[in-house]
Each structure stands twice: as C-alpha cells, then as structure tokens.
Amino acid sequence: MMAIGIGCKSGTKADAIIALVETALARVEGDTIAGLFTIAEKTHEAGLHEAAARLSLPLMFLPETAVKQVACKAETRSERVVQLFGVPSVAETAALAGAGDGATLILPRISEGGVTCAIAQSGGSSS
C-alpha cells in the first residue's frame, strides 16, 4: 500500500496539487493507494479537499503526534517547515505516518508550485 503525503502553501489551488501528485505517481511502481495524507493544520485548505475529490482518493489529516513519530525517517529538511510544524518535511512525514508501521519512502519530497509531495510504501505485504 502506498500513502501520498502532501504539503502546500496556504491557498494552493487543486490543479497544482493534482499535477504534482500525478508527476509523483509516474515516478513509482504502482500499488494500491491508501489516499492523500497531510497534517491536521491543513484541514482548512480548500485546494486539498478539491484535489482529493477530483483524484477520487480519501484525504486524511494526521495529528501532530503521528507525523512527529516518523520525523527521524524523513530524508529532506526545510528549516521553515521545522519552525512552523515541528517536522523536517510535511510531505515525507505525512506519507510515512499514513503508510503505517515499518513504512519506507519510495519517493522523497518533490516540490512545484507551492506543493510538496512524497510517497511511502507500507512495511507489510501488499494487499
């Protein structure tokens, strides 16, 4: 199972989010997609909700404790993100937390147009 982690600047439009998710998915081998994952602080972002609906994927908002538990597994680091959210990468930590125990990044953070995206694979066997 794959989890797609998303970070975005406030007010980012759905088209930018969808474009980066599609770019990310084109770079990895296919598997079941669990959904889009981000931090709870992003619940107000209309672009995230619209992107998830247009991609026909569930959108899950993770509590701070969930993303901080996997912060040590992040491969990239933004000092601004650390100051704002307490994790090195919203996209990477959301993907890792969303994929569950034993998850590994299969696509480290990529970014474009105010959006970041990362993909993690669950540690268990594929369904």
Q: Which of 29, 32, 38, 35 is nearest to 1 (CA)?
A: 32
Residues sharing a CB contact under 8 Å with residue 12, sequence separation 6 or more, in sequence order: 45, 47, 48, 113, 114, 115
* Mean pLDDT of the 115-123 span: 95
Return the structure tokens found at 35: 């959904």
Full strand arrangement of the beta sheet holding 33-39: 59-62, 33-39, 2-8, 115-121, 104-112
* Mean pLDDT of the 43-72 span: 97
- Confidence band of 30 (pLDDT split at 50, 70, 90): confident
Map out the domains of the chain as residue ranges.
2-121
* Mean pLDDT of the 29-49 span: 94
* Mean pLDDT of the 13-22 span: 98
- Confidence band of 124 (pLDDT split at 50, 70, 90): low
- Answer yes or no: are the C-beta atoms of 9 and 20 closer than 8 Å: no
- Answer yes or no: are the C-beta atoms of 37 and 66 closer than 8 Å: no
Higher local confidence (pLDDT), 121 or 124: 121
State how far the Cα of 29 lies from the Cα of 2, in Å rounded to an integer: 10
- pLDDT in the model for residue 92: 97
State how far the Cα of 102 lies from the Cα of 123, in Å rounded to an integer: 4
**Which superfamily does CATH assign the domain made up of 2-121 to?**
CobE/GbiG C-terminal domain (3.30.420.180)
pLDDT averaged over every residue in the chain: 94
Q: What is the pTM of this model?
A: 0.93
